[in-house]
Amino acid sequence: MGEKVSITDVGPRDGLQNQPGILNVEERLKLIRAVAAAGVTAIEVGSFVSPKAVPAMAGTDQVVAGAKSDGSYKPSALIPNLKGYELAREAGVGTVAMVVYASETMARENAKMSGQQAMDITRSIVSLAIEDKIEVTATIAVAFACPFEGATAPDSVARLTAELLEMGVNNVVLADTIGAADPQHARMLTSRLVDSHGAASIGCHFHDTRAMGLANVYAAIESGIRKFDACIAGLGGCPFAPGATGNVATEDVVMMLEQMGFDTGIDLRKLMAASDLAAELTGNAPGGRASAWLKPRLDRF
State the angle between helix axes of 82-91 and 115-132 in degrees (0 to 180), rounded to the nearest 10.
30
User: How many whole angstroms separate alpha carbon 57 and alpha carbon 81?
Assistant: 15
User: How many whole angstroms separate alpha carbon 161 and alpha carbon 133?
Assistant: 21
Q: How many helices (H) and strands (E) does the chain have?
A: 11, 10
Catalytic residue list: 238
**Cβ–Cβ contacts within 10 Å for residue 152, how many?**
26
User: How many whole angstroms separate alpha carbon 202 and alpha carbon 99?
Assistant: 14
Phi, psi (5° rounding) for residue 181? -70, 155
Are the beta carbons of 146 and 103 closer than 8 angstroms? yes
